[in-house]
Structure formats: C-alpha cells, structure tokens
Structure 1
Amino acid sequence: MSRKRYPRLGAFEPKLIREALISSLLKLDLRKQKGNPVMLLVEIGGILTTLSFLIGVFSATAKSSFFTGFVSLWLWMTVLFSNFAESLSEGRGKARAASLRQSKTSVPARKLTAESFDASFNEVSSADLRQGDIVLIKTNEIIPGDGEVVKGAALVNEAAITGESAPVIRESGGDRSAVTGGTTVIANEIIIRITTEPGQSFLDRMISMVEGAERRKTPNEIALDILLLSLTGVFLAVVVSTYSVSAYSAASSGMGSPASLTVLIALFVCLAPTTIAALLPAIGIAGMDRLFQLNVIALSGRAIEAAGDVNVLLLDKTGTITLGNRQATEFLPVGGHSHEDLMEASLFSSFSDETPEGKSIITLIQEKTGKVSVSPENITFIPFSAATRVSGAHCGEITYLKGAYDAITKAVLECGGTIPSDLKAKVDRVASAGGTPLVVARNEVTLGVIFLKDILKTGIRERFADLRQIGIKTIMITGDNHLTAATIAAEAGVDDYLAEARPDDKLRMIKEYQNEGYMVAMTGDGTNDAPALAQADVAVAMNNGTQPAREAANIIDLDSDPTKLLDIVEIGKQILMTRGALTTFSIANDIAKYFAIIPAALIGIYPQLKVLNIMGLATPESAILSAVIFNALVIPLLIPLALAGVKFKTMPASKLFTYNLTIFGLGGVIAPFIGIKIIDLVLAGLLHI
C-alpha cells in the first residue's frame, strides 16, 4: 500500500536556516528571553561587556579594550546560537503545520433542517457551521467540519489529513462514525452532526500543536528549569565571592588587581549551564516533530513526556498484537478421511467466501497443493447467516458446509449422518491452543477441522522483550475467553492479560495501577474506550475512531495503527534520554572550563594558581577567550543531536545511567580540554601571543 508522508526536513534545510537566522536576531529582545533565564543573564552580560568595550576604547589600552570586545562578541554569539537552536526547531514545526493548513479550506455545506436525506437545506459556508448543525455530504464533496455520522455510510478519502491513499468507511453507529473536516466523500452519501465550533476543529488543534512554539512546558522540563536556575544562582554567588576575594587579596597584598567585569562575566557564562539551557527548547519541540514524522499528533506536550515515564502498557489484542483477522494454518482430518478430501471440501465451501478467513483457507490450500482449480459456473455459494452459523456451497447434488462445531454437528445429524469419534478431540485441541475450529462437512459426512489462528504481528514478541528490559510491563486486553487469551499472551510474550474485558474493567485496571504509582498508557478507538483513555496518563486514540475516543485522548494516531504506541513510548524515552545526556555533557563541561578560567582570573593575585594551568594555555587573556569561544561553539555543534535525539537503547535504567555518564559525562570532560587548547593555539598564532 502506497503511503504519502510529510516531507522530511533535515536539520539544516537552507530555507529553515534563513528563517531561523532572522528569528535569532528578533529573539534578542530581552522580553523574549524571559522564558530562558540562563540565556537572559548571558545576554545581559553581553550588553555590559559591550558597554565596557566602548568605554574602554576611549579610556584604556587598546589590548585591554580588544580583549573585552572579543569576549563581548562571543557572548553575543552564545546568545545567537541559543536563539538559532530554538528558532530552527520552531521552524521545523511550523513547516509541518503549513502542510496541514493546505487541507484547511472553506467549502460550501448543505445545512439540513432535520436528520433526513429528504429534508430541506440551506447552503452555507463551512466557516458558518456551529456545533450541533446537521449537514448532508454527497459523493465527491469535501466534509465541511469535524462531526459524527448520524445517517448513512460512505467511503471517505482521508489522504488530506493522514497521507493514507486507501479510502476508509465511515458509518453511523459503532466505532467508525467520526469524520474530519477537509476529507472527501468518494462514494455514497452521509448526514453528519457537527461536533466542534469554528477554530476548534481537530485540524485546528493539530496545527496549533505541531507549530510547537506554543507547547507548554512539561513537569520534567520545569524540574530541569529549577535545576538550571539553582546552578545559575550558585555560580552567580561564586562570581560575586570571586570578586570580593580578589579585591580583598589585591588590596591586602598589593599584588595584581581585582578581577575585571569582563573576566567575572566570562567566568559566570562558562560555568553556568548555558549548553543545556540553549538546547532545552529544541529538544522538546524536536520530539513533537519526530512524532509527526510517524503521522502522530500530540495534543499535549506533557503526553510525550509522560510516554517517556510509562511503566505499564495496555494494548488491545486484535489489530495491535495480532493482525486482526484469524487465518487458516492447518487441516485436521477426522473419521479416517484424507487431507485431500478435507482440502477439496474446504476449497468448494470457501471459493466464493470474501471474508478474510475464507480467503486465508484458499491461500493455505494453494500453498499445500500448488494450485486451486474450481469451476465457478457449477457452484452456488451459501453465505453465512446468524441463524445457521454456517457457510458453504452447492455443487449439483453435493453440499459443502463449514462452520462452528455445534452448527455443523446439527446439520450433519439432520441429514442422517453420524459424528466421528475423534471430532470432539480435534475441536478441543484447536480451542485449547487459542484457535478457532471450523468444522467441514460434505452432505452427511464430517471430514475434518480447519485450524483458524490469531497471527502475531511480525517482531511484536521482540518489541515486548525490549520494553521488558527497560522496565515496562505489557498487558494485553481482549474480549476473548481466558483460554484463548492465555494462549495468545504466551505466544506474544506479554507480562499479563485481561480476558473478557468490559469498559469498566479497563478503567478499574488503570486506576489500580495508578494508585500504586505507575504511569499507564493505552490505546483505543471506540466510545467504550473513552473512559479508560481519559483516565490513562498516555492515551492514544485512533483517527478512525469515534469522536468521544479522540476527545478523551492526548495523542492521535492519524494512521490508526495501534502498534505505534510502542513507538510513542520510545520517542518519549528518547526525549528524556536526550535531555539527560545533554545535561550531563553541559555540567561535565564546567570541569574543564574551571581549569581554564579560575587560574586565568586570579593568577595575578595568586601566582601559585599557575599549577592549575594543566592545559598550558598561553596567557590569562587567551585562556578566558578560548573558554568563552568554546562555550559558544559547542551549542551549534550539538544542535543536530538535540533535533535528532539520542538513540533509544533498550536497557535497564541503571545501565542507561552508567552508559550516559560514560559517553556524555566523560565526553563532556574531555571535549573542552581538547577544544579549548586548540582554540588557544589558534588565538596565540593569530594574536602573536
């Protein structure tokens, strides 16, 4: 099946870079930096050093003034690089939103006076429709707004919203009644009831969330902000105390002079967690962008964060763990009959059966025999009916039937036949294995059993194993009986299952886990799933589901693929891992910068500090300037990592912590030593120090 995807935007698309550069300059407005206190203080430092440079040009030596000017320049570069990272991620989100806006158009609508195809109507613009209005949509017409089908059934093309080329059925009643404004009816007619006010449609909410810039901070982000503010406060105190110590020591010893304003600001900027503060907005917005690449819309930024903390996962069996339709896997003859007799009867009874089960029987016969040969003109198909619970075909004087054990048994006995002694054992064997037994008969003779089985999706067991490694418990929810549920659960490798589940059972289970302190995620598409979706911490609704399900969820899957819940969890964890990795790198950076800045700032007063110049930096001025330049350059160098995210690795939290500490902690210590030394060598060569 072909699928249209939204265009992938690289980390450095030329158009996005141009827009991000312009936005970076606009964000220099101090009022726009209030949301990022660390960078606000860096910008204030840039303003102060710039003023100091301008004053120094007229009242100090050229060398001192130019040193201040260079520091000031790189402080501004630090702020601009931070703004660039945020602007680039926002621009990617807005580019996604632009593709959605193309689907949002004003179209004419037939507003009915009653819920009837024969009712009179007034033609109005879709912009004038209000919640509760009744609208008729005919073939090849665009659905004017979000709504519920109240009459009829139609084939709808949702490619404008989902990118999926295959049309879907939308009908009144059941779990597939929701329609989205901007999609097109391509066959039949339907009457819908508008469920949203103008500007509040599903598409409007998607556009708002995809733009990302309006995304509210999550609890984890707020906690990290508090950490950054705390560290910033500590380093401000360090800077103030450094000046006090240097001033006192210079006055009492008569050696050197107190640390200058430029040096103190450079000390603060290099020690403060500027790297993570600069990249934090990009990490969160990039997470939403990665979800959008999967055709998934997060209606709440907190939902992505919560997905990263999920430790209990509830999944429907049908369509999530299994393919959704049971397939024939084996023929089991009874009463001494051959496989050939059973397959021949199965072929005739299923040749005109258009159900997925019927088609799978034909496929299995073809796999086993290499051919399928039937003369359709001699066959009269017997469709399945709720009354008889059998289907089959008439071929002249012969009648072939397949169906449930009790239904076929009844039909055979009514024809004067007998039931083979081994039939019940074969039926029980299939049922105990979690399958569905279909009994096949020819006139009054029972030939055998077809084993219909739920087929697991490829790789699903391995994915559950990966989730178990990172501490996530998987629970399968199904309406099947306990025997079938237990069999499928064992094959899939889930940790637990809930059989014969009703809506209140799902809700109760979610509450119980939450009361025990777990974060719970689940999928759903029906109205009966809405209560549980509303209760879950991460609720993924299918786009083809009902309006109540979509309204109860905080994540919408446009492709209606329930297995994406596993991808959403991985992206949530990827965001947390990325943030943790960059925070570790940022804090580890300070160790190297400490050895560059502190000796340089105080060596005039305390010559003994020269022993701390372990990098062998040329002069105090080059050491400070090298640290400031490295502090600025590391931000754009880490932008691709912030946007792409740290690769998700399925391992326990303790091992993950050790891994991040080794890679990003050790890397954060080593990289500045190398980077600052290289920059110092370049500066020494350029300035002939």
Structure 2
Amino acid sequence: MLVLAVPVVGFNDMFADLLGYQLPDAGWVWWVSPILGTVMYVWGGRPFLTGAVSELRARQPGMMLLIGLAITVAFIASWGASLRILDLELNFWWELALLVVIMLLGHWIEMRSLAQTTSALDSLAALLPDEAEKIDGDDVVTVAPADLAVGDIVIVRPGASVPADGRITDGSASMDESMVTGESKSVRRETGEQVVAGTVATDSGLRIEVTAIGEDTALAGIQKLVTDAQASSSRAQRIADTAAAWLFWFAIGAAAITAVIWSFLGMPDTAVVRTITVLVIACPHALGLAIPLVVSIATERAARGGVLVKDRLALESMRTVDTVLFDKTGTLTKGEPNVTGIEPIEGHTEDEVLALAAAAESDSEHPLARAVVGAARARELAVAEATDFSSSPAVGVRARVDGTVVEVGGPHLLDQRGLDELAVADEWRTEGAIILHILADSQVIGALRLADEVRSESRDAIDALHAAGAQVVMITGDAQAVADTVAAELGIDRVFAGVRPEDKAAMVAELQGEGRKVAMVGDGVNDAPALAQADVGIAIGAGTDVAIGSAGVILASSDPRSVLSVIDLSRASYRKMKQNLWWAAGYNLISVPLAAGVLAPIGFVLPMSVGAILMSASTVVVALNAQLLRRLDLTPAHSTSRFLDRDTSG
C-alpha cells in the first residue's frame, strides 16, 4: 500500500500546490491519483469495508463502519472532483491514500501486538522435545512424545526436556521449571516426585514413568488456559465496545450538524470537506485497540510469570480485593509432615537421635517415615543400614541398627513398654504436632516433633498482602490449636478452623456478607465450591487439576507469593486501560469539534490530512503504552518485594 500511496500523493495536484512543486505537463499525470487511489480504496480499504458491512448486518455500529464511511465519502468526493462534477478543491486522493496507509499501519500494529501475545502459546509448545527415549524391554527406542502411553518408562538425559508428565522412578536432578512457575531458580526433584512435561533436567539423567499424556498434561492445560483467557471477554472490553458504539452516533450527529451549518452559511464545498474530516477524526481505532491489547499483553505476560488467567474478569476484579482467604494445607503449608523439632535426652545429641530414627524408618513407606528419613538427608547425616525391620500399625517400627534395637513410634509404643513421654510432649501436643519417641534397647533416647511445615515463602506473602492493604484469613479443617500455631507464626489476621470442605463456601459468603471483596486461594480440588463463591477464585499449584471451572486465576507454582503477582498485574493493567481509554476517547471528543470547524471564526480549520495523521498517531500511542506492560516482572519474588518496598518507603 505504501508503494501505491507514494505516486497517489506525489502526482496529486493539490498536494503539489501545498508543497509548491510542479507536476509534469502531461495528460497521464492527471489520472495517476484517481486510478491508483481506486486500487487503494478497493484493496487497501477492503478490511475496513468488509468490517463495516458486518457491523451493519449485525446492527452494531462501531469503528469499522466509521472508517469505511470516511474512506468511501473521500473516494466518491475525489472522483467527483477528478471528473469535474464537483469543485476541484474536493480532490482528496492524497488524503484518501494517507488515511488508508495510516489506518492499515495502525491495524498492522494491533495484529503484530496480538501475534506477539499468542507467541506465548507457540513457545510453550516448543518446550516439548521432538523425540523421547522409551525403555522397551532391554532396549531403548526413540519415539515421538505423542506416541507415549501412560505407564511407559522414558529416559531424560542431562540437559533434555521431559516429554510428558510423570513420576521419577530412578535418579534425581535439578529441574528448570521456569516455564511453569516463572522462577528461574532450579528445583531439586528426587525419586518418587512428579515432573512436568517441558521442564528440563539440568544436571543429571532421570528415568520417568509417564502419568499423563497429550491434553491431560500440565503444559496442555496451560496452553488451553492462555487460549481461553485471550478469547474471553471482560467488563473493560464491553465498556470499550459500548464507547465505540456511542462514538459512532456522536460522529454521525456531529457530521450532520457540520454539514447543515456550513451549507446554511452558503459553503457546500466546505461542508463536504468538514464533514469528511469529522468522520475521519471520529474513527475509534485507538479506542478499539485500547482494551483488548492491554488485556492480551497482560494475559501473555502473566503466563510467562507463572500466573494463568482463565477469566479476564477475575484479573480485573483482583485490584479491588481487600480480603485474601488462604486454605492452609498445601497452600500456606507444604501439605506433608516434616520434622520440625528434635528433643534428645541427656547424653544424646539431636543428630544421633535423628540418625537412629532414620535408620529404623528407612524401609518404611509411611509418610511419617519418609519425613524422618528426609530430615536426616537434609542434615546430611550418615544413616546406618538397618536389619530385622518390622512394623506394627498404629504402634511404630522396630529394627536393629549396629547391634542396637531401635524403635520409633507414638503413644501406643510407650504404653506397650510402660514408658513415659518426655516433658516437652505436652507442649508439642497443644500445638497440634505429631510426636514420635525413639527407643534404643527399650529406653527412650529422644522425641521428634512432626508437623505440616509452613512454606518459607508464606511469611513474605502475608507481609506483602498487609502492605497492599488486604486482610489475610486462613481456613482449615485442622484443629484450632494447629491453626492458631500457624496463624501466629505467619501473622494471619483471622482463622476459621475445623471447617469441613463443604462448609468452606459458607465461610467465604460470611466474609462477603461483611462487605468484603474476597479472593479465595486453594488447591483447586477440594476447595472448588469456595473458589466459585469468592469474588476471585485462585487455584494454586500446577497440574492437570488446574483446569477446574471454579477458579478464574491459576497459579502455576505452589508459591503463595504468586498472589501478589496477580494483584500487581491487575493494578498495572487497570492503569494502562484507564490511560488508553482517556487518551483514545478524550482525543476524539476534543478533535471532532475542531474538525467540524468550531474555531473557523478565528481562522483555524483542521485539515483532513492532519486529522488522519493525528488520529493514527493516537493509535500508535495506545499501542506503545500497552507494550510497556511487557516490562513488568511478575515473578513472585519481585512482585512481593515491590509491595514490601512500597510499605517501607510509604
């Protein structure tokens, strides 16, 4: 179009007169602008003309109808001038060419921006390897990831991507999970832990049993969520569409008044010029671009930061939330028992007690046993090999370690041996902890305190939420003592304890009944009714369960600080929406009267060409302003620190 526009403008006599140069004295010169201008109108104007027809058929006037009307009026007036039917001053070929080129430029900027937005989906798809190494008997065969089945064992070599969701059956590795969580720091994954398709084993090889393939993988779920979010509508988008419709009638009314007044003043040619200029200026291209571009970029940016926006309305609502309700288990805590205290008797050390307990528990598959062994491994203790292992349900385990009979168990074990608990047990029990005593040759040598460990990130998340002006509430099915202990450790404002899953939604409604805007953060499965009841439902933790219909926002990681990323993004995108709407709509409201000639009595008349340039410039401004959202760092750590820094500085 630009190639055609150059001769249309350059060989237009009115443009030549404007710049003061002479055109060649040849008959063909006169027809260059009309012929090429017609091509531009039919070819370059086609997207706007077809859009205008669609809006007419749907009886929903908007931006395309205004653009189509403007270029059509300019086209007809210019042919009238070229054929000497109308005054030569109505020769608008150069303005028509300029308008089509600039409008197509704005349209290209919009499409390019939206293409960059959807590139997040392409990059997610590219994370999967082209081939997977599957163990087939004694052989290793190369297959496409799409040909894998649940239960297959695959080899992931150092530096390679995981081809499907699965469970590690052999080996351990530091995994790059940034595509899921948004965090660049690698995470250590051990035998028995789950890994997600597309993540990378950075330092060691693994054997993985495939647990999900195709559309059931977390990666496919993420892609679907991003696609659905980009296709969904929102309150802000509906406001923009309504504004565009009102602007159409505003433009038509202004054009009609302009035509009548200038004609009444005896200047019909000026009436046509002013009417066309009004229609050009009123084209709401920038207004139509203002909201969808911001939301699309915000959605894409969120996905890269580990925040998956399923419902755009939820993202918009997050900025107004004043109460965040956390489910405790698996959200603020890790959802599994961990050793949180060791009490040795005199003559023994913490490491000695823990090492003996770990040795005795090493052959057990019980969650408490795994917690004890994991604690010893975390301290890098030397755990001796045990023999003669046996276990008794509800009592404990027994094994021989370096010639010593070691027993680990709860209160029933002590009852059987006629032994008393350590004094610290009463204090631990009031906190809701699980207590295991360790016996060596039938003598108590120490005790272990086990509890659902609080995530290290939870305190920062709650502090940042307080800095953001939100009240933090915790809800749990655990006993009041357990809940109060966690709440006191984290600084939580309010606690609902002993709540059954089916009653959580009622707790959300109770908070809403107090006039609060509530965001519910849960695991997305048992908390589904509460997530649906909340003003904003946030499911935490990546996996196949994230696609439930009850949550509007999905946090790809299990980091509670990601809630701050949602608030950060909501507030930032809302600021951009307001800025773009004010710029786009405000520009039109001011420029239309100028285009109509309201300042003509003092000698100022806004030319149509200048109006086209300014109108398209507003589109560029809106597009560039929206692009600034890409600079927002939405990793949980950065978003949290921003709120904490504001609180400190404020």
Q: TM-score, normalised by structure 2?
A: 0.66
Q: Note if contact 1:347-1:362 (Cα within 8 Å) is conserved in structure 2.
A: yes
CA distance in 2, matches of 1:37, 1:467: 41
In the other structure, the counterpart of 1:630 is 614
In the other structure, the counterpart of 1:31 is 51
Deviations 1:347-373 (A, max 9, x none): 32235756563256436766xxxxx4x
Q: Note if contact 2:221-2:544 (Cα within 8 Å) is conserved in structure 1.
A: no
CA distance in 2, matches of 1:274, 1:90: 15
Moved more, 559-568 or 636-645: 559-568
**Identity of matched residues, %:** 19
Deviation at 1:498, TM superposition (A): 2.7
Deviation at 1:639, TM superposition (A): 2.0
CA distance in 1, matches of 2:169, 2:545: 15
Q: Which amino acid aligns with 2:51?
A: R
Deviations 1:229-272 (A, max 9, x none): 33443354334334434444x25xxxx77753333343455466
In the other structure, the counterpart of 1:83 is 107
Quickly say closer, same or farther: Cα 1:186–1:521, change in 2 above 3 A.
farther
Quickly say closer, same or farther: Cα 1:531–1:555, change in 2 above 3 A.
same
Alignment match of 2:256 (pick from 231, 234, 240): 240
Moved more, 201-210 or 284-293: 201-210
Alignment match of 1:620 (pick from 600, 605, 612): 605
Structure 1 runs not aligned, ≥5 long = 1-22, 108-125, 128-134, 142-146, 367-371, 611-618, 657-689
CA distance in 2, matches of 1:160, 1:460: 20
Deviation at 1:37, TM superposition (A): 1.1
SS at match of 2:325: strand
In the other structure, the counterpart of 1:410 is 415
CA distance in 2, matches of 1:31, 1:42: 9
SS at match of 1:620: coil
Check if 1:224 corresponds to 2:229.
Answer: no
CA distance in 2, matches of 1:391, 1:503: 37
Deviation at 1:632, TM superposition (A): 0.9
Aligned length: 551
Instruction: List aligned pairs for 1:660-675, cutoff 5 A.
Output: none
CA distance in 1, matches of 2:545, 2:192: 10
Instruction: List aligned pairs for 1:540-619, cutoff 5 A.
Output: 540=539, 542-544=541-543, 546=545, 550=548, 552-555=550-553, 564-589=562-587, 593=591, 597=595, 601-604=597-600, 606-607=601-602
SS at match of 2:579: helix
Deviation at 1:504, TM superposition (A): 0.7
Q: Note if contact 1:259-1:602 (Cα within 8 Å) is conserved in structure 2.
A: no
Q: Note if contact 1:43-1:76 (Cα within 8 Å) is conserved in structure 2.
A: no
Quickly say closer, same or farther: Cα 1:392–1:428, change in 2 above 3 A.
farther
Deviations 1:370-412 (A, max 9, x none): xx4x5725x548677542146776332x4444544x346435x
Deviation at 1:46, TM superposition (A): 2.6
In the other structure, the counterpart of 1:395 is 402
In the other structure, the counterpart of 2:9 is none
In the other structure, the counterpart of 2:153 is 139
In the other structure, the counterpart of 1:40 is 65
Alignment match of 2:271 (pick from 223, 246, 260): 260
Instruction: List aligned pairs for 1:10-159, cutoff 5 A.
Output: 27-31=47-51, 34=55, 37-59=62-84, 64-65=89-90, 68-99=92-123, 137-140=151-154
Q: Which amino acid aligns with 1:467?
A: L
In the other structure, the counterpart of 2:356 is 348
Q: Which amino acid aligns with 1:230?
A: W
Deviations 1:422-448 (A, max 9, x none): x33x23434455655544444454444
Q: Which amino acid aligns with 2:384?
A: P
Q: Note if contact 1:477-1:497 (Cα within 8 Å) is conserved in structure 2.
A: yes
Q: Note if contact 1:439-1:449 (Cα within 8 Å) is conserved in structure 2.
A: yes
SS at match of 2:333: coil
Quickly say closer, same or farther: Cα 1:552–1:596, change in 2 above 3 A.
closer
SS at match of 1:319: helix
Quickly say closer, same or farther: Cα 1:28–1:588, change in 2 above 3 A.
closer
Structure 2 runs not aligned, ≥5 long = 1-42, 132-144, 156-163, 182-186, 199-205, 363-368
Quickly say closer, same or farther: Cα 1:440–1:159, change in 2 above 3 A.
closer
CA distance in 1, matches of 2:640, 2:168: 44
CA distance in 2, matches of 1:556, 1:51: 53
Quickly say closer, same or farther: Cα 1:332–1:542, change in 2 above 3 A.
closer
Q: Which amino acid aligns with 1:316?
A: D
Q: Note if contact 1:86-1:281 (Cα within 8 Å) is conserved in structure 2.
A: no
Deviation at 1:485, TM superposition (A): 1.1
Quickly say closer, same or farther: Cα 1:603–1:641, change in 2 above 3 A.
closer
Instruction: Report the RMSD for the aligned CA atoms in angstroms.
Output: 5.4
CA distance in 1, matches of 2:378, 2:586: 61
In the other structure, the counterpart of 2:300 is 289
Quickly say closer, same or farther: Cα 1:245–1:359, change in 2 above 3 A.
farther
Moved more, 258-267 or 496-505: 258-267
Deviations 1:317-367 (A, max 9, x none): 233223445554554456xx26x544422332235756563256436766x
Deviations 1:571-611 (A, max 9, x none): 3444333212211333444576479656xx2444x23xx6x
Quickly say closer, same or farther: Cα 1:211–1:347, change in 2 above 3 A.
closer
Q: Which amino acid aligns with 2:273?
A: T
Q: Which amino acid aligns with 1:538?
A: G
SS at match of 1:315: strand
Quickly say closer, same or farther: Cα 1:462–1:494, change in 2 above 3 A.
same
In the other structure, the counterpart of 2:38 is none
SS at match of 2:548: helix
CA distance in 2, matches of 1:160, 1:36: 47
In the other structure, the counterpart of 2:20 is none
Deviation at 1:87, TM superposition (A): 1.4
CA distance in 1, matches of 2:470, 2:438: 43
SS at match of 1:475: strand
